[in-house]
Structure 1
Amino acid sequence: MSNGKAKSKAIIFGVGSFYEDRRINLNNEYNIIKFTDNNLNLWGTENNGIEIIPPNKIKDYEFDYIFIASSYDKEIKSQLIDMGIENNKIKSTNYYKSIIGENNPEVLISYVNTSFYVDLNKKITHGNNIESMIIRGVFNKLGYNFYSINHDTLFDDYNLCESYPRMVMGVEPNFPKLCNTYSKAIKIYYATGSYWEYQNCMIKKRTDEVNIKKNANIDYSRLVQPNKSAECADYIIQIGSNYTIQTYPEKLRKKIYLIRQSTFGYLNLDIGTKLTQYSKKDYMWFGSGGNILKGLDLVLEYFKNDSSVNLHIIGGPLENKFEKAYYEELYNTENIKYYGFIPISDSRILELANRCSFIIFPSCSEGMPGSVLNMMRLGLIPILSLSAAFDEIEKYGIVIHKLNVEGIGQAVRESKKIANSKEISKKFEKCYEFVKKNYNEKTFEEDFNRIISEIFKLNGIY
């Protein structure tokens, strides 16, 4: 926000989609006097009524900042410095700030900056976008100027804050760098999954099992770069369950505060519609990358050999070697259908959720998968590994106790008893009500505000 002051003059380097994603915010904060781009075909034309100039003409104009709106952030910065542009005038659009007062204390976050440029008139389709905006709002309400860089943005040469931040928070790879750069600040690691060493161990174990079984050579997928994020943090805010905490070395567990993630308020069970459309034989697997990590191999193997039930697979991408190893199950098995990626806001998600009775997710390492919680909002009954489960899973769904085909079979057999009972409609409603009440934007904000306020008090800040 401009706080009533004249807007700083800015030149924007880049006129493509990268800029368009950030256009509203930049236009609100700065007086954009020119655009520039390395594409000579654009020189002399206009973008939103503002001239696009060649880069070598930048120094002909008086400006306060030049913002790089391109994925070639590092290369363009080097280009500008070679041209003689002062370092302190060069800013990255991977950098964001929300200032509430000139002399207010500061916090510096490194997480997901694209959140601050989303079009709020459209349905948001990833939970971290909602949660980033809530985190910003909480800090502003607590009286802090909020500075943020994207979690993977190179920041060594950028002036990130006006003064030394009181707190730094984020995820790898930038969080350990922030800890080193601002060693006197309160340091909070924002963890969204299991401890990295546990996750890597499980990925290797499960992938090796699949490679032996399928005589394949599938690469390890979703390995986490070894890091000291948890060790260098003073506190850890963890999305997940008490099981997630147990994946950490014991000496680190006392640092951890659990937080309930949000779900999408536009997903709501219509019990009348569901009861006319659901099939007790239909199950859903809904996940992103890391096919073996998320147990897709196990459900494919089980459902291939149990034609009494149907499996609907949403998500991806499928890793090439995984797809080759499981081609028969994915494409030539009558009771298995693979849909590929479907945005969670798409009407097809609602259609499939109304058709399915259960969501099955035997992940070997998670925090708490948003896909599961959001499908529970649509009435699906969860069948989950402990890694993917919330703490009260037994009240609402079924635990997969063994991460093998036998464990999947045991859980599915248990689910068939629910499907054939008169209580299934109550289960649909119970799952919906539980998630709606406990995993929403308000509960995430309440949890985050409580945790941050407590951390400040522990450090003598009131």
Structure 2
Amino acid sequence: MKINNLKKRLKSLIWRKIKNKFYDFRIKETAIIQNINYSSLTNQKKAVVSYLTDSYTKDWEHNNIGRTQPIEILSITKTLADAGYCIDVVGCNDTKTLYYLENKNYDLIFGFGEVFFRLTEKQPQAMSILYMTEHHPEFADKAEKDRIAYYYKRHKKRARIVRSGNYYKPHHFKKPFSEVITMSELEPFKNNYQNPYPIFPTGVVNTNFVFNKKDHKTTRKNFLWLGSYGAIHKGLDILLDVFENRDDITLHIAGLSEEDEKLLNPKKRENIINHGYINIKSKTFLEVVQTCSFIILPSCSEGCSTSITTGMLHGLIPIVIRNTGFNRLNENAFFLDDHKVSYVDQKLTEISKKTPLELENYSKRVNEFAKNNFSTDSFENNFKKIIKNILKLTE
């Protein structure tokens, strides 16, 4: 016992000496935000959100937001606060937080990740709402493995799984939860849930964007791939194989990670333009938008990717693969039914020959659909409707 006390005192002494040197990290890496919307009422309901905590540690009003999740998390917690809950927010995979929550009893457990799963195991009496920001893991894992195998078949280079299985693991799905809300396809959940709830993510908006007519006769030959890490998962390798053997259409690449660039090694060609990282709120992004008619993402699995919602909010017409997370876009996207290089090559020829008038009307419709469905107001309103419906059903 004395040894343990000595260790604690020694750690405390060292921490007091060095903690200010790590101040930025202390703010950024906050593992738990507790007691949001606390009331002294003794019967106040308690909820925990297992997701990310940095929505509460950064100044989103004055700093560039390159991601959509932080604002969506604020909308989620606000909705639960409006419903009367006192809320804790925890890192979804930071299992050490469970030690600090072990004496709390929750009425509602919301989110995903290992923390979400373990809390539902420990507190089975609580209502549990699984929040899916990705496709069902059974689909996603197989789809990514298939893409990696297809890349190896063509290029004899090995790639690793980078997107699937990080937050949604097979053992999380061995039992049903009370409800499920998903950004992806509904079909995988219909066997276990009577009413899986769909919701769209938001998109990032450049406030200087104004929808204007384009010269689609020219821009219909230009396609934007807007991504992040996991370029094979997101189908960039397939596009490179198409565009490297053509010179009549141009591929614009934005957001390619250093690791993926080293792996894929895009050829230096006039019709393949790697812009590197582009700030969505920059003038450069608006220039790329004005150059292209389409945003293309032949991904194997998504939760309706925010790169697509962002592109649509700026009038870009999406080209995506059917059943991979985008089906609810309906007539507001061009759907591919296969990811093979020869098929994609053929379809891009067809799409790039659409008439300028047809593309102009398509772009208008896409932009209107995006404004009505991908704004932060739309997300919060839709999330409120879902939560009200769930709570009404359980009263």
TM-score (norm 2): 0.86
CA distance in 2: counterparts of 1:457 and 1:403, whole angstroms: 43
- Residue deviations 1:41-91 (CA, integer Å, cap 9, x gap): 969xxx9xxxxxxxxxxxxxxxxxxx96575xxxxxxxxxxxxxxxxxxxx
Q: CA RMSD in A?
A: 2.9
Correspondence list, 1:54-453, <5 A: 69=27, 71=29, 93-103=31-41, 104-119=44-59, 120-153=61-94, 154-159=96-101, 163-224=104-165, 226-230=169-173, 231-240=175-184, 244-246=185-187, 248=188, 251-267=191-207, 269-272=209-212, 274=214, 279-319=219-259, 323-324=262-263, 326-327=264-265, 330-386=266-322, 387-393=324-330, 395-418=331-354, 420-453=355-388
**1:239–1:367 CA contact under 8 A, matched in 2:** yes
- Residue deviations 1:259-296 (CA, integer Å, cap 9, x gap): 12222354575233755997232110011111111111
**Larger proportion of strand:** 1
The one of the two structures with greater contact order (alpha-carbon pairs below 8 A, sep at least 6) is 2
**1:399–1:411 CA contact under 8 A, matched in 2:** no
- Residue deviations 1:333-361 (CA, integer Å, cap 9, x gap): 22101122223223321221111111111
Structure 2 residue runs of 5 or longer lacking an equivalent are 1-10
CA distance in 1: counterparts of 2:293 and 2:28, whole angstroms: 44
Identity value in percent: 24
- Residue deviations 1:116-146 (CA, integer Å, cap 9, x gap): 2221223422111110000111111111111
**CA distance 1:279–1:250, change in 2 (3 Å):** closer
**1:259–1:447 CA contact under 8 A, matched in 2:** yes
**2:244–2:267 CA contact under 8 A, matched in 1:** no
Residue matched to 2:393 = 458
**2:201–2:309 CA contact under 8 A, matched in 1:** no
**CA distance 1:253–1:308, change in 2 (3 Å):** farther
CA distance in 1: counterparts of 2:131 and 2:21, whole angstroms: 41
- Within the candidate set 36, 39, 43, 2:18 is matched to 39
Residue matched to 1:18 = none
- Residue deviations 1:353-405 (CA, integer Å, cap 9, x gap): 11111111111111101111111111111111111424243x22311111111
Report the residue type matching 1:342 in the other structure: I
SS of 2:35's partner is: strand
CA distance in 2: counterparts of 1:287 and 1:42, whole angstroms: 34
Give 1:446 shift. Answer: 1.7
Equivalent residue pairs, number: 376
Give 1:100 shift. Answer: 4.0
**CA distance 1:41–1:118, change in 2 (3 Å):** closer
- Residue deviations 1:97-119 (CA, integer Å, cap 9, x gap): 31241222111111011012221
SS of 2:100's partner is: coil
Give 1:180 shift. Answer: 1.4
**2:55–2:73 CA contact under 8 A, matched in 1:** yes
